[in-house]
């Protein structure tokens, strides 16, 4: 009889312990869902100065500033952000796998990509352009690139697009990195570097290249940068609201000036949410 009483008491204690543990789990879940106790993981580029760059001092660039602002509006402080490198070829997979909550990484909105992910924005309208030496007066239009040495990174379609559609006699030069192209541009081994003007402005804004290069202003394509989220995610609407606030309170223009200003980047006005320029 005494043994049975002890067993019954133990059962009560065990039941209480299980209940307490369950309540504790619910409390943690509630805390996480509010943004107050968990982290948010954001995909960015790590190797694009002015856009998204990992440095010994931390992370910098226009996309980093935009993502930090958006995260703040979602309820996350800067120290609750986990930055994850998302290379161009892996962006859709990173979202579908759940590796990141959203991606801000010079991510152009295209019909093909919209089949796989949802986009908030756009938050920047960029254009394919060329970067040339600051004393260059010969390149004023895409056709002026004919017979010029045109550089882009290995595997990029930017230089090929110019060659195929606008300057068929351009001499394509493929270098492993944009930095290598810049070195070639500085030494006159190449005449122009081509990719998105925002990326070019970011590189030209580096202290080592200040005053040495300028954008051609050719505006050869339209690149609508959006923030990628997993297909069907309710984050899209929340991020759009945050982007609208960033523009209205002046934070968007400040981020543009800070990251691209040294290259005298003539940015387009902040695009309206959902307005994709073809």
Please report the pLDDT score of residue 179 as a whole number.
Answer: 86
Please report the pLDDT score of residue 208 as a whole number.
Answer: 87
Q: How many domains does the chain have?
A: 2
- Residue 150 and residue 116 in one domain: no
- Residue 117 and residue 44 in one domain: yes
Q: Is the peptide bond before 18 cis (omega within 30 degrees of 0)?
A: no
CA distance 123 to 4: 69
Residue 8 lies in a domain: no
- Residue 115 and residue 233 in one domain: yes
Please report the pLDDT score of residue 18 as a whole number.
Answer: 39
Residue 265's nearest CA partner among 185, 188, 203, 180 is 203
Residue 2 lies in a domain: no
The pLDDT tens digits for 97-144 are: 999 999 999 999 999 999 999 999 999 999 999 999 999 999 999 999
- Residue 96 and residue 117 in one domain: yes
Please report the pLDDT score of residue 214 as a whole number.
Answer: 94
Residues of the chain with pLDDT under 50: 1-35
CATH of the domain at 51: 3.40.190.10
Residue 29 lies in a domain: no
- Residue 175 and residue 243 in one domain: no
- Residue 229 and residue 211 in one domain: no
Please report the pLDDT score of residue 30 as a whole number.
Answer: 32
Domain that holds residue 181: 128-215
Sign of CA dihedral 215, 218, 220, 224: positive
Q: Record the pTM.
A: 0.82
């Amino acid at each position: 009889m005494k043994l049975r009483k002890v067993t019954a008491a133990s059962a009560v204690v065990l039941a209480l312990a299980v209940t307490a543990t369950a309540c504790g789990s619910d409390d943690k879940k509630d805390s996480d869902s509010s943004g107050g106790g968990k982290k948010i993981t954001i995909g960015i580029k790590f190797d694009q100065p002015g856009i998204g760059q990992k440095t010994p001092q931390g992370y910098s660039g226009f996309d980093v500033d935009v993502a930090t602002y958006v995260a703040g509006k979602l309820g996350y402080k800067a120290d609750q952000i986990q930055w994850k490198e998302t290379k161009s070829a892996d962006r859709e997979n990173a979202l579908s796998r759940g590796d990141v909550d959203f991606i801000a990484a010079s991510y152009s909105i295209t019909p093909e990509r919209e089949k796989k992910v949802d986009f908030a924005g756009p938050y920047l309208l960029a254009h394919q352009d060329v970067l040339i030496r600051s004393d260059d007066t010969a390149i004023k239009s895409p056709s002026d690139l004919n017979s010029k040495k045109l550089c882009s990174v290995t595997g990029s379609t930017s230089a090929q697009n110019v060659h195929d559609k606008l300057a068929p006699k351009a001499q394509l030069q493929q270098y492993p990195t944009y930095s290598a192209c810049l070195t070639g541009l500085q030494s006159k081994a190449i005449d122009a570097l081509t990719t998105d003007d925002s990326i070019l402005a970011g590189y030209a804004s580096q202290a080592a290249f200040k005053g040495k290069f300028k954008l051609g202003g050719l505006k050869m394509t339209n690149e609508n940068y959006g923030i990628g989220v997993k297909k069907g995610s309710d984050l899209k609407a929340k991020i759009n609201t945050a982007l609208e606030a960033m523009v209205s309170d002046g934070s968007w223009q400040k981020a543009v000036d800070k990251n691209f200003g040294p290259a005298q980047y003539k940015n387009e006005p902040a695009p309206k949410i959902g307005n994709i320029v073809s």
